[in-house]
């Protein structure tokens, strides 16, 4: 039996494959070509494994084999699989052939993959250049993925999560190198882990991310349910990112996740009987202070999501928060959302919404995070946790902004930082210089301002200076300087310089 390939080997091969596009496209664009080809390669290799399994089981009976393959979670048409495309790599219309192959995959798997590949064009002249250059790049791409070590059959790679992890690895790298655009489709793994552990989804929970990007946060939250008994739902407005999310779910064997392409604030599609669907857990890292989000229609929102107040036209933060809270189940729903610090203290309509949320006793915790955690922005952020099942009117404030790893261009939360936040949140108590359990009356006294320094005193008193001791030290240093100058003068005289 062939030696199993490691996660690191797969990651390195895939990262080298990106060289085909570096310098031609920015990572926010070429990620689609790499990730789609990875999807095709894995599904082709998975189909090979199933073909071999059923051939052995049914002793070569083609009819029974084809029937069994048709019942699998995924159908790979022969003219779409990687080996077929690789065999056509020298064709002058190879880009067109890949596009046709992708269309056939969609058609054969309509309920799961319809429209997933419609935003990616392997025959694009604007992206990939004129025919000669385009074909050269596509040949290089196919050659990279034909690496013998990149054998992605489950019988070879073992744990199916290896391929899902590779996909996540690539998305993370693309986000890190895509500048501001990176934050649009990826939440750093450490922040996603923190959010998932704060919300503690349970067996049987329905989990939703209304701004799901490539789906990494949603997947990590689901994985907190160790029994595997949970349902995932997401909404994403960007077509390319929505496609990444659908593929990401599939590669993590979460085929049944319902991921809708829509604008969450203006036309949500997670709806049942003309009402918003309700979830046990709602989690998101929405775009910060999004402008032109649909304010003009929000006053007449058919789902009445903004009854606590209308967020300002230029900042959608409280529009997302309002939507998330309105989509949680009564008496048990939990919400975790990443926000810029302005959400904690800005006045006007935002201040009124914030006041109403506190008076309704929905806010459970405010957790300040370090700056420069997210791709594309260096601003400090916070996590707000809302809980419809709160047992107390108190709110816990945690200042975790000073504990992190400085990882060159980006800061990261370490496992010990995450563990400390979780432990403090679960204990729900005051810890000197780190957290404060505030009474609702204290927050009212602060005019519903949630700015963390108002509650968590991180001031460290400087030690008192002994002026007499310092003066004595200075006098001693001056005496030493006089003595040193005398010695230097003597040496210079001996050398004839004086």
Element (H, E) at 281: strand 281-284
Instruction: Please report which confidence band the pLDDT of residue 318 belongs to, taking 50, 70 and 90 as the band edges.
Output: very high
Residues 28/182, Cβ–Cβ less than 8 Å? yes
pLDDT value, residue 7: 82
pLDDT value, residue 264: 97
Q: What is the mean pLDDT of residues 10-36?
A: 83
| Least confident window among 27-36, 356-365, 386-395 | 27-36
pLDDT greater than 90 at residue 10: no
Instruction: Please report which confidence band the pLDDT of residue 285 belongs to, taking 50, 70 and 90 as the band edges.
Output: very high
Note the pLDDT tens digit of each residue in 380-405.
Answer: 899 999 999 999 999 999 999 999 88
Q: What is the mean pLDDT of residues 480-493?
A: 81
Note the pLDDT tens digit of each residue in 464-483.
Answer: 777 878 888 888 888 888 88
Note the pLDDT tens digit of each residue in 66-116.
Answer: 999 889 888 999 999 999 999 999 999 999 999 999 999 999 999 889 999
Higher per-residue pLDDT: 466 or 238: 238
pLDDT value, residue 297: 93
In the chain, what are the domain boundaries?
7-153, 181-454, 465-498
pLDDT greater than 50 at residue 33: yes
pLDDT value, residue 149: 85
pLDDT greater than 70 at residue 38: yes
- Quote the CA–CA distance of 463 and 55 in Å, as a whole number: 78
Mean pLDDT score of the chain: 90
Instruction: Please report which confidence band the pLDDT of residue 407 belongs to, taking 50, 70 and 90 as the band edges.
Output: confident
Residues 454/446, Cβ–Cβ less than 8 Å? yes
Residues 221/213, Cβ–Cβ less than 8 Å? no
What percentage of residues in the chain have a pLDDT greater than 70? 94
Residues 324, 329, 331, 337: what is their CA dihedral angle, to the nearest 10 degrees? -20
Instruction: Please report which confidence band the pLDDT of residue 353 belongs to, taking 50, 70 and 90 as the band edges.
Output: very high
Q: Domain 7-153 is of which CATH architecture? A: Up-down Bundle (1.20)
Instruction: Considering only the C-alpha atoms of the chain, give the largest distance between any 2 of them, rounded to a whole number of Å.
Output: 109
Q: What is the mean pLDDT of residues 216-225?
A: 94
Residues 139, 144, 145, 148: what is their CA dihedral angle, to the nearest 10 degrees? 120
Residues 382/341, Cβ–Cβ less than 8 Å? yes
Note the pLDDT tens digit of each residue in 271-284.
Answer: 999 999 999 999 99
b or e along 84-111 (b: 16 or more beta carbons within 10 Å of the residue's beta carbon)? ebbeebeeeebbebbbbbbebbbeebee
Fold of 181-454: Rossmann fold (3.40.50)
| Least confident window among 2-16, 320-334, 443-457 | 2-16
Note the pLDDT tens digit of each residue in 138-185.
Answer: 999 999 999 988 888 877 776 556 777 887 778 777 766 655 555 556
What percentage of residues in the chain have a pLDDT greater than 90? 64
| Least confident window among 45-49, 189-193, 312-316, 466-470 | 466-470
DSSP secondary structure code for residue 72 in this structure: S
pLDDT greater than 70 at residue 337: yes
pLDDT value, residue 1: 44
pLDDT value, residue 491: 74
Tokens representing 288?
A: 């910060």
Note the pLDDT tens digit of each residue in 55-66.
Answer: 999 988 989 999
Q: Is 58 exposed, middle or buried (0-12, 13-18, 19+ CB in 10 A)?
A: middle
What is the reported pTM? Answer: 0.86
SS3 338: strand
pLDDT value, residue 181: 54
DSSP secondary structure code for residue 18 in this structure: G
pLDDT value, residue 469: 80
């Amino acid at each position: 039996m062939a030696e199993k390939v490691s996660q690191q080997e797969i990651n390195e091969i895939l990262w080298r494959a990106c060289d085909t596009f570096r310098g031609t496209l920015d990572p926010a664009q070429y990620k689609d070509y790499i990730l789609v080809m990875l999807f095709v390669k894995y599904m082709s290799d998975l189909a090979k494994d199933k073909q071999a399994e059923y051939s052995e089981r049914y002793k070569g009976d083609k009819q029974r084999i084809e029937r069994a393959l048709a019942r699998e979670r995924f159908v790979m048409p022969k003219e779409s699989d990687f080996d077929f495309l690789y065999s056509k790599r020298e064709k002058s219309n190879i880009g067109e052939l890949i596009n046709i192959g992708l269309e056939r995959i969609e058609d054969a798997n309509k309920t799961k993959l319809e429209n997933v590949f419609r935003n990616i064009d392997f025959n694009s002249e604007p992206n990939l250049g004129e025919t000669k250059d385009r074909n050269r790049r596509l040949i290089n791409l196919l050659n990279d993925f034909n690496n013998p070590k990149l054998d992605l059959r489950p019988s070879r790679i073992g744990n199916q999560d290896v391929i899902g992890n590779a996909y996540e690895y690539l998305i993370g790298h693309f986000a890190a190198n895509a500048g501001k655009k990176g934050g649009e489709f990826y939440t750093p793994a450490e922040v996603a882990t923190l959010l998932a552990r704060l919300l503690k989804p349970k067996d049987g929970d329905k989990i939703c991310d209304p701004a799901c990007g490539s789906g990494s946060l949603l997947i990590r939250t689901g994985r907190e349910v160790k029994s595997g008994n949970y349902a995932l739902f997401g909404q994403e407005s960007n077509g390319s990112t929505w496609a990444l999310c659908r593929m990401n779910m599939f590669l993590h064997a979460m085929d049944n996740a319902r991921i809708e392409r829509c604008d969450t604030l203006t036309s949500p599609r997670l709806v049942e009987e003309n009402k918003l669907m309700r979830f046990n857990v709602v989690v998101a890292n929405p775009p910060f202070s999004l402008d032109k989000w649909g304010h003009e229609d929000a006053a007449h929102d058919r789902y009445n999501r903004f009854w606590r107040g209308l967020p300002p036209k230029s900042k959608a933060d409280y529009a997302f928060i309002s939507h998330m809270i309105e989509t949680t189940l009564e008496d048990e729903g939990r919400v975790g959302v990443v926000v810029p610090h302005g959400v904690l203290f800005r006045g006007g309509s935002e201040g009124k919404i914030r006041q109403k949320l506190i008076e309704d006793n929905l806010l459970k915790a405010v957790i300040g995070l370090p700056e420069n955690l997210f791709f594309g922005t260096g601003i400090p952020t916070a996590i707000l946790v809302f809980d419809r099942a709160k047992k107390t009117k108190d709110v816990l404030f945690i200042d975790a902004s000073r504990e992190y790893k400085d990882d060159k261009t980006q800061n990261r939360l370490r496992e010990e930082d995450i563990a400390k936040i979780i432990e403090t949140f679960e204990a729900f108590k005051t810890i000197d210089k780190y957290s404060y359990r505030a009474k609702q009356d204290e927050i009212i006294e602060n005019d519903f301002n949630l700015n963390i320094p108002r509650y968590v005193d991180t001031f460290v008193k400087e030690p008192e200076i002994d002026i007499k001791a310092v003066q004595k030290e200075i006098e001693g240093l001056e005496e030493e300087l006089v003595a040193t100058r005398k010695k230097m003068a003597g040496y210079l005289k001996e050398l004839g310089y004086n």
